Protein backbone atom coordinates (compact mmCIF):
# COMPACT_ATOMS: atom_id res chain seq x y z
CA UNK A 1 0.00 0.00 0.00
CA UNK A 2 1.11 3.58 -0.67
CA UNK A 3 0.59 6.70 1.41
CA UNK A 4 -1.38 9.62 -0.01
CA UNK A 5 -0.37 13.28 0.62
CA UNK A 6 -2.68 13.30 3.66
CA UNK A 7 -0.92 10.29 5.18
CA UNK A 8 -3.72 7.84 4.38
CA UNK A 9 -2.56 4.52 2.99
CA UNK A 10 -4.30 3.54 -0.24
CA UNK A 11 -4.15 0.31 -2.16
CA UNK A 12 -1.52 -0.16 -4.86
CA UNK A 13 -3.20 0.01 -8.26
CA UNK A 14 -3.48 -3.06 -10.45
CA UNK A 15 -1.90 -3.20 -13.88
CA UNK A 16 -5.34 -2.78 -15.46
CA UNK A 17 -5.98 0.35 -13.39
CA UNK A 18 -2.59 1.77 -14.35
CA UNK A 19 -3.30 1.02 -18.02
CA UNK A 20 -6.59 2.93 -17.95
CA UNK A 21 -5.01 5.81 -16.06
CA UNK A 22 -2.28 6.02 -18.73
CA UNK A 23 -5.03 7.01 -21.20
CA UNK A 24 -6.29 9.62 -18.75
CA UNK A 25 -2.80 11.08 -18.26
CA UNK A 26 -2.18 11.21 -22.01
CA UNK A 27 -5.55 12.88 -22.60
CA UNK A 28 -5.00 15.36 -19.77
CA UNK A 29 -1.61 16.34 -21.24
CA UNK A 30 -3.21 16.87 -24.65
CA UNK A 31 -5.97 19.01 -23.10
CA UNK A 32 -3.39 21.20 -21.36
CA UNK A 33 -1.37 21.52 -24.57
CA UNK A 34 -4.53 22.47 -26.47
CA UNK A 35 -5.31 25.17 -23.91
CA UNK A 36 -1.80 26.60 -24.27
CA UNK A 37 -2.06 26.54 -28.05
CA UNK A 38 -5.51 28.18 -27.97
CA UNK A 39 -4.07 30.98 -25.83
CA UNK A 40 -1.20 31.40 -28.30
CA UNK A 41 -3.59 31.63 -31.25
CA UNK A 42 -5.72 34.21 -29.43
CA UNK A 43 -2.63 36.20 -28.49
CA UNK A 44 -1.28 36.27 -32.05
CA UNK A 45 -4.65 37.36 -33.44
CA UNK A 46 -4.98 40.04 -30.77
CA UNK A 47 -1.63 41.53 -31.81
CA UNK A 48 -3.22 42.37 -35.17
CA UNK A 49 -6.57 43.53 -33.81
CA UNK A 50 -8.57 40.30 -34.20
CA UNK A 51 -10.50 39.10 -31.15
CA UNK A 52 -11.95 35.59 -30.87
CA UNK A 53 -15.00 34.78 -28.71
CA UNK A 54 -14.36 32.85 -25.49
CA UNK A 55 -14.27 29.06 -25.62
CA UNK A 56 -12.46 26.19 -27.31
CA UNK A 57 -15.31 25.94 -29.83
CA UNK A 58 -14.52 29.43 -31.16
CA UNK A 59 -10.84 28.60 -31.61
CA UNK A 60 -11.76 25.31 -33.32
CA UNK A 61 -14.08 27.05 -35.75
CA UNK A 62 -11.42 29.67 -36.53
CA UNK A 63 -8.70 27.04 -37.01
CA UNK A 64 -10.82 25.08 -39.48
CA UNK A 65 -11.62 28.23 -41.47
CA UNK A 66 -7.96 29.24 -41.51
CA UNK A 67 -6.87 25.83 -42.78
CA UNK A 68 -9.57 26.10 -45.48
CA UNK A 69 -7.93 29.28 -46.72
CA UNK A 70 -10.00 31.95 -44.95
CA UNK A 71 -7.12 34.04 -43.57
CA UNK A 72 -7.43 37.22 -41.46
CA UNK A 73 -5.85 40.51 -42.57
CA UNK A 74 -2.32 39.91 -41.26
CA UNK A 75 1.22 39.87 -42.67
CA UNK A 76 2.02 36.72 -44.62
CA UNK A 77 4.63 35.52 -42.10
CA UNK A 78 2.19 35.89 -39.19
CA UNK A 79 -0.51 34.06 -41.12
CA UNK A 80 2.00 31.31 -41.85
CA UNK A 81 2.79 30.88 -38.15
CA UNK A 82 -0.92 30.99 -37.39
CA UNK A 83 -1.51 28.23 -39.93
CA UNK A 84 1.03 25.98 -38.20
CA UNK A 85 -0.63 26.62 -34.85
CA UNK A 86 -4.09 25.92 -36.28
CA UNK A 87 -2.87 22.64 -37.78
CA UNK A 88 -1.43 21.57 -34.43
CA UNK A 89 -4.62 22.65 -32.64
CA UNK A 90 -6.89 20.57 -34.90
CA UNK A 91 -4.54 17.61 -34.46
CA UNK A 92 -4.80 17.89 -30.67
CA UNK A 93 -8.58 18.09 -30.95
CA UNK A 94 -8.65 14.82 -32.89
CA UNK A 95 -6.32 13.08 -30.45
CA UNK A 96 -8.35 14.24 -27.44
CA UNK A 97 -11.51 12.94 -29.12
CA UNK A 98 -9.82 9.57 -29.69
CA UNK A 99 -8.64 9.31 -26.09
CA UNK A 100 -12.13 10.28 -24.87
CA UNK A 101 -13.69 7.48 -26.91
CA UNK A 102 -11.25 4.95 -25.43
CA UNK A 103 -12.12 6.13 -21.91
CA UNK A 104 -15.85 6.03 -22.67
CA UNK A 105 -15.52 2.42 -23.86
CA UNK A 106 -13.86 1.51 -20.57
CA UNK A 107 -16.57 3.28 -18.60
CA UNK A 108 -19.38 1.53 -20.44
CA UNK A 109 -17.81 -1.89 -19.78
CA UNK A 110 -17.52 -1.28 -16.02
CA UNK A 111 -20.62 -1.66 -13.82
CA UNK A 112 -19.38 0.80 -11.17
CA UNK A 113 -18.56 3.43 -13.79
CA UNK A 114 -21.97 3.03 -15.42
CA UNK A 115 -23.60 3.49 -12.02
CA UNK A 116 -21.60 6.66 -11.32
CA UNK A 117 -22.56 8.14 -14.70
CA UNK A 118 -26.18 8.25 -13.53
CA UNK A 119 -25.20 11.04 -11.13
CA UNK A 120 -25.72 14.53 -12.61
CA UNK A 121 -22.36 16.10 -13.46
CA UNK A 122 -20.50 12.77 -13.76
CA UNK A 123 -19.58 11.77 -17.31
CA UNK A 124 -17.53 8.87 -18.71
CA UNK A 125 -14.15 10.55 -18.14
CA UNK A 126 -14.84 11.29 -14.47
CA UNK A 127 -16.48 7.91 -13.80
CA UNK A 128 -13.61 6.02 -15.44
CA UNK A 129 -10.97 8.03 -13.56
CA UNK A 130 -12.68 7.43 -10.21
CA UNK A 131 -13.00 3.67 -10.72
CA UNK A 132 -9.44 3.30 -12.01
CA UNK A 133 -7.94 5.47 -9.26
CA UNK A 134 -9.90 4.41 -6.18
CA UNK A 135 -10.37 0.72 -6.90
CA UNK A 136 -11.99 -0.75 -3.79
CA UNK A 137 -13.81 2.12 -2.06
CA UNK A 138 -13.99 0.06 1.15
CA UNK A 139 -10.44 1.22 1.88
CA UNK A 140 -12.12 4.49 2.96
CA UNK A 141 -14.08 4.18 6.20
CA UNK A 142 -16.65 6.83 5.28
CA UNK A 143 -17.63 9.12 2.43
CA UNK A 144 -16.07 11.98 4.34
CA UNK A 145 -12.74 10.12 4.31
CA UNK A 146 -12.93 9.87 0.52
CA UNK A 147 -13.79 13.57 0.22
CA UNK A 148 -10.84 14.39 2.49
CA UNK A 149 -8.52 12.18 0.42
CA UNK A 150 -9.60 14.15 -2.66
CA UNK A 151 -8.82 17.44 -0.90
CA UNK A 152 -12.46 18.57 -0.91
CA UNK A 153 -12.90 19.13 2.82
CA UNK A 154 -12.40 22.64 4.27
CA UNK A 155 -9.57 23.38 6.66
CA UNK A 156 -10.74 23.73 10.26
CA UNK A 157 -9.59 27.10 11.69
CA UNK A 158 -11.72 26.97 14.83
CA UNK A 159 -10.46 28.78 17.92
CA UNK A 160 -11.87 30.13 21.15
CA UNK A 161 -14.91 27.90 20.92
CA UNK A 162 -15.89 29.37 17.55
CA UNK A 163 -16.03 27.06 14.56
CA UNK A 164 -14.47 28.51 11.41
CA UNK A 165 -13.95 26.53 8.21
CA UNK A 166 -11.39 27.75 5.71
CA UNK A 167 -10.59 26.87 2.11
CA UNK A 168 -10.46 23.25 0.96
CA UNK A 169 -7.17 21.47 1.60
CA UNK A 170 -6.44 20.74 -2.09
CA UNK A 171 -4.43 17.70 -1.01
CA UNK A 172 -4.83 14.24 -2.45
CA UNK A 173 -5.76 13.40 -6.04
CA UNK A 174 -5.76 16.66 -7.99
CA UNK A 175 -7.02 15.10 -11.24
CA UNK A 176 -10.24 13.63 -9.82
CA UNK A 177 -10.81 16.74 -7.71
CA UNK A 178 -10.60 18.88 -10.84
CA UNK A 179 -12.95 16.59 -12.76
CA UNK A 180 -15.52 16.64 -9.95
CA UNK A 181 -15.42 20.43 -9.57
CA UNK A 182 -15.70 20.94 -13.34
CA UNK A 183 -18.60 18.49 -13.48
CA UNK A 184 -20.42 20.17 -10.60
CA UNK A 185 -19.76 23.58 -12.16
CA UNK A 186 -21.48 22.38 -15.33
CA UNK A 187 -24.34 21.07 -13.20
CA UNK A 188 -24.65 24.40 -11.39
CA UNK A 189 -24.65 26.35 -14.66
CA UNK A 190 -27.45 24.14 -15.99
CA UNK A 191 -29.32 24.65 -12.72
CA UNK A 192 -29.17 28.42 -13.16
CA UNK A 193 -30.40 28.14 -16.74
CA UNK A 194 -33.25 25.74 -15.95
CA UNK A 195 -34.13 26.17 -12.24
CA UNK A 196 -37.39 24.29 -12.71
CA UNK A 197 -35.43 21.07 -13.35
CA UNK A 198 -33.16 21.30 -10.30
CA UNK A 199 -33.49 19.31 -7.08
CA UNK A 200 -34.13 21.36 -3.93
CA UNK A 201 -30.70 20.72 -2.36
CA UNK A 202 -28.81 21.97 -5.41
CA UNK A 203 -31.10 25.00 -5.77
CA UNK A 204 -30.59 25.93 -2.10
CA UNK A 205 -26.81 25.59 -2.08
CA UNK A 206 -26.50 27.69 -5.24
CA UNK A 207 -28.76 30.35 -3.72
CA UNK A 208 -27.01 30.39 -0.33
CA UNK A 209 -23.34 30.39 -1.38
CA UNK A 210 -21.12 32.26 -3.84
CA UNK A 211 -20.98 30.28 -7.09
CA UNK A 212 -17.43 28.96 -6.67
CA UNK A 213 -18.03 27.87 -3.08
CA UNK A 214 -21.28 26.22 -4.14
CA UNK A 215 -19.60 24.11 -6.83
CA UNK A 216 -16.90 22.95 -4.41
CA UNK A 217 -19.56 22.06 -1.82
CA UNK A 218 -21.40 20.12 -4.52
CA UNK A 219 -18.18 18.27 -5.39
CA UNK A 220 -17.71 17.39 -1.72
CA UNK A 221 -21.28 16.05 -1.55
CA UNK A 222 -20.72 14.14 -4.80
CA UNK A 223 -17.59 12.46 -3.37
CA UNK A 224 -19.58 11.22 -0.38
CA UNK A 225 -22.34 9.93 -2.64
CA UNK A 226 -19.74 8.21 -4.83
CA UNK A 227 -18.38 6.37 -1.79
CA UNK A 228 -21.87 5.10 -0.93
CA UNK A 229 -22.55 4.07 -4.52
CA UNK A 230 -19.27 2.15 -4.78
CA UNK A 231 -19.32 0.46 -1.36
CA UNK A 232 -23.04 -0.34 -1.20
CA UNK A 233 -23.60 -0.83 -4.96
CA UNK A 234 -26.59 1.50 -4.71
CA UNK A 235 -28.02 3.82 -7.34
CA UNK A 236 -27.67 7.59 -7.14
CA UNK A 237 -30.07 9.35 -4.81
CA UNK A 238 -30.72 13.06 -4.82
CA UNK A 239 -29.51 14.76 -1.61
CA UNK A 240 -32.18 15.40 0.98
CA UNK A 241 -33.30 19.02 1.30
pLDDT per residue as tens digits for the range 194-224: 887 788 888 888 888 889 889 999 999 999 9
The answer to whether the CB of 188 falls within 8 A of the CB of 202 is yes
Mean pLDDT of 96-100: 98
Q: What share of the chain is helix, strand, coil (3-state, %, to 5)?
A: 65, 5, 30
Task: In whole angstroms, give the CA distance from residue 176 to residue 112.
Answer: 16
- Single out the residue of 199, 190, 148 nearest to residue 171, CA to CA: 148
Q: What is the mean pLDDT of the chain?
A: 87
Q: What end-to-end distance do the CA atoms of the chain give, in Å?
A: 38
Mean pLDDT of 96-125: 96
The answer to whether the CB of 175 falls within 8 A of the CB of 24 is yes
pTM: 0.83
Whether residue 45 has pLDDT greater than 90: yes
The answer to whether the CB of 203 falls within 8 A of the CB of 221 is no
Amino acid sequence: MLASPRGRFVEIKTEDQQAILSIHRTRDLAVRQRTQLANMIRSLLREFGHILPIGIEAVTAFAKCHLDGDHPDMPEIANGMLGIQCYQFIGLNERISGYSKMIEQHAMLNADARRLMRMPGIGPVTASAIVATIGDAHQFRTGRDLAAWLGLTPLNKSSGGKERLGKITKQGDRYIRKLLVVGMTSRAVMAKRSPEKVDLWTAKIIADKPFRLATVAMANKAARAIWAMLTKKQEYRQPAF
